[in-house]
Chain A
C-alpha cells in the first residue's frame, strides 16, 4: 500500500536551517510529481512547493521562494525540503503529498496520498 512518511521536523531558532524528508513506498515514486503542503497550528492548509517526477521543474509559494528548496532522490524514493532562513511564520506541520494522476506532475487533479506530517517550530 502507498505510504508517505515525513521526518526531520523539530524546534529551530529563527534564521537557522532544517531539512525535511519524505520516504515513499508502495508505488513507483519516480513516476509521480510530489508536493509539500503546510498547516500552521490551528490554521488552514497552504501549498508550499512542487517537484516534477523527474525533477525537471520546481515551483514555490512566494513566501518561501529563495529560502526553501525542494528536491528528490528517485533511487531512494525520497522527497526533501531544505528550509533555510527560517522565520516564526514558517511554524507548521509539513505534509508531503502525491499527485493523483502520474501523467500530471503539477497535480491539477488533486493529491491522493498524504504523509502524517512533521511539525516544524521556529522559535528562539
Chain B
C-alpha cells in the first residue's frame, strides 16, 4: 500500500491561511470518512488535530478545519500562528486488510 500523497511544504504569513492536500485512492481516502490529521513538532510525538475528515478534538483551536472531496482530503489552518509551524500528516483507514496508511507529510512554515 503506497503512502498518501502530500505536498512536501507549505507556508504562509501570520494571520494567513494554508491548505494541505492529501491524495489517496478509492481504497482509502475516497472509500471511507475516516481521515485524520496529525501535527508533529520536531522531536515530539504527533498530536491529533482532525478526525473523521472534519471533526476537531476538544482543545484544538477552530482555526484547524478538514474536508474531503473524492480521493483527496484537505487540512486548512486559518489565522496562522507561529506555533502552527510543524509537520502535518494525514492518515486514512484503508480497510481491514491494510488498516491504515499515512501521508508523506507536509512541513508548514510560518514566514
Q: Does B65 contact A (CB under 8 A)?
A: no
- A107 and B38 CA atoms in complex are apart in Å by 14
* Nearest CB of chain A from residue B35's CB, rounded to whole Å: 9
CA–CA, A12 to B106, complex, Å? 31
Q: A95-B45, A108-B93, A114-B46 are in contact. Are A44 and B104 (CB under 8 A)?
A: yes
Which residues on the A side are within 8 Å of B104 (C-beta)?
Answer: 44
- Tell me the chain B residues, 80-111 only, with Cβ under 8 Å from chain A: 89, 91, 93, 96, 98-105
Which residues of chain B come closer than 8 Å to A46, judged between CB atoms? 102
* Interface size grouping (class) on chain B: 20 to 34
User: Shortest Cβ distance from A37 into chain B, in angstroms?
Assistant: 8
Interface size on A, as a range, is: 20 to 34
> Do B93 and A114 have beta carbons less than 8 Å apart?
no
Other-chain contact of A100, B48, B91, B100 (Cβ < 8 Å): B48
Partner of A109, one of B38, B51, B105: B51
Contact check, B51 vs A45: say whether CB atoms are below 8 A apart.
no
The answer to whether residues A59 and B96 also contact, given A44-B3, A44-B103, A44-B105 and a CB cut-off of 8 A, is yes
- Residue A111 is within 8 A (CB to CB) of chain B in the complex: yes
Interface residues of B (CB under 8 A from A): 1, 3, 32, 34, 36, 38, 40, 45-48, 50-52, 57, 89, 91, 93, 96, 98-105
On A, residues with C-beta under 8 Å from B are 37, 44-47, 50, 59, 61-62, 95, 100, 106-112, 114-117
